């Protein structure tokens, strides 16, 4: 069971559902106004953790990996969209109870003529204590608004929203952008080869034989051959003529290798989003360096310059 003494381990922890699937990251814890026990935790989900969803933490457990909640990831995904503004209204908490099948809310709410005190309070970031709220109940006899004087179980006036670790300081929190990158598919390139036909001309030398008549006179050297045979007769000689013809043979030979490769190009992209932060305002405080309804941070630069000039004149 999660207690107020372990809130510092809850904030920022990974949140897993009952089946061990990761849901997101724990952001803030909401405490029950009456018991002061942790009741809900907001879990950052989505691509950059920009979405926060309320998840019951009453029966959750802290493990070595993070926070394990007794609900499914799909149930968290379909949970009602509720703005995180420091308190849950009774209607919002009832909607969460119905969605997670937890039955009706066991805490009570105090309804006045003008305002309704919330059933769950904001626990602050990093497990630190929040501030005790004020009951803005309207005076029924005079019709004017006044501070409530109910004392809760911690002995403080108003509604204690941060459990037994309440002190006299108020914690201010602000949202910050955590921008990262993820690798996604941006397109595809395909390398394909295909066959084309083209005409190739090449000159090849070829040779052939032709008939040529050679005549030689009768000499003493060839007289014997000339007189061989009958003196007068018919005779026929035949010569085979040869010629070369072009012969074409095809063969496939490798000429080149082609492959696809990628290179990483880095460019700058600007990411813009809205963030919230808490500011403090005072009411009824008058001092040397403050005015009613303003803190030192709220004073203008002109006011600070006047004070500096005044101190220099006194010297």
Q: Could you tell me if residue 85 is inside a domain?
A: yes
| pLDDT (tens digit per residue) in 182-219 | 889 889 899 999 999 999 999 999 999 999 998 989 89
Q: Could you tell me if residue 224 is inside a domain?
A: no
Last residue in a domain, options 165, 180, 213: 165
State the pLDDT confidence band at 147, using cuts at 50, 70 and 90. very low
Last residue in a domain, options 165, 186, 221: 165
pTM of the model: 0.35
> Domain check: are 11 and 149 in the same one?
yes
Of the candidates 151, 98, 160, 114, the one whose C-alpha atom is nearest the C-alpha of residue 133 is 160
> Domain check: are 161 and 288 in the same one?
no
Look up tokens 């005079």; give the residue.
Answer: 142
Mean pLDDT score across all residues of the chain? 74
Return the structure tokens found at 106: 């066991």
Tell me if 156 sits within 8 A of 166, measured CB to CB. yes
CATH code (residue 26): 3.90.50.10
| pLDDT (tens digit per residue) in 265-305 | 999 999 898 989 988 888 777 665 544 444 444 455 556 55
Last residue in a domain, options 132, 165, 198: 165
**Which range has the worst mean pLDDT, 85-94, 144-153, 197-206?**
144-153
Q: Which residues pair with 16 in a beta bridge?
A: 22, 68
Q: Could you tell me if residue 208 is inside a domain?
A: no
The reported pLDDT for the residue numbered 3 is 81
**Is the predicted pLDDT of residue 122 greater than 50, yes or no?**
no
Of the candidates 211, 209, 210, 212, the one whose C-alpha atom is nearest the C-alpha of residue 243 is 209
> Domain check: are 139 and 287 in the same one?
no
Return the structure tokens found at 211: 């008939």
> Domain check: are 161 and 294 in the same one?
no
3-state secondary structure of 14: strand
Q: Print the domain residue range for 138.
A: 4-165
3-state secondary structure of 45: strand
Q: Could you tell me if residue 303 is inside a domain?
A: yes
Q: Could you tell me if residue 207 is inside a domain?
A: no
Return the structure tokens found at 173: 């929190």
| pLDDT (tens digit per residue) in 158-177 | 444 444 445 668 888 998 88
> Domain check: are 160 and 292 in the same one?
no
How many domains does one find in the chain?
2
């Amino acid at each position: 069971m999660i207690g107020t003494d372990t809130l510092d381990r809850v904030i920022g922890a990974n949140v897993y559902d009952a089946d061990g699937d990761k849901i997101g990251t724990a952001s803030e814890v909401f405490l029950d106004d009456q018991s002061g026990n942790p009741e809900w935790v907001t879990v950052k989900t989505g691509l950059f953790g920009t979405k926060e969803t309320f998840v019951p933490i009453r029966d959750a457990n802290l493990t070595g990996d993070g926070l394990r909640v007794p609900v499914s990831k799909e149930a968290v995904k379909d949970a009602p969209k509720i703005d995180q503004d420091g308190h849950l209204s009774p209607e919002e908490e009832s909607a969460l109870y119905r969605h997670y099948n937890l039955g009706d809310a066991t805490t009570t709410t105090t309804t006045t003529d003008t305002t309704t005190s919330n059933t769950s309070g904001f626990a602050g970031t990093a497990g630190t204590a929040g501030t005790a709220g004020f009951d803005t109940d309207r005076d029924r006899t005079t019709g004017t608004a006044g501070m409530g004087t109910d004392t809760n179980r911690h002995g403080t006036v108003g509604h204690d929203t941060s459990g037994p670790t309440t002190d006299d300081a108020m914690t201010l929190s602000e949202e910050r952008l955590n921008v990262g990158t993820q690798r996604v598919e941006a397109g595809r390139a395909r390398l394909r080869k295909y066959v084309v036909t083209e005409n190739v001309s090449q000159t090849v030398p070829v040779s052939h034989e032709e008939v040529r008549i050679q005549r030689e006179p009768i000499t003493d050297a060839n007289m014997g051959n000339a007189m061989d045979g009958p003196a007068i007769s018919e005779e026929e000689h035949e010569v085979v003529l040869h010629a070369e013809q072009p012969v074409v043979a095809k063969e496939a030979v490798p000429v080149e290798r082609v492959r696809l490769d990628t290179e990483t190009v880095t460019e700058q992209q600007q990411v813009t989003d809205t963030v919230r932060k808490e500011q403090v305002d005072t009411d009824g405080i008058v001092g040397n360096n403050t005015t009613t309804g303003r803190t030192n941070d709220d004073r203008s630069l002109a006011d600070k310059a006047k004070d500096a000039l005044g101190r220099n004149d006194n010297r």
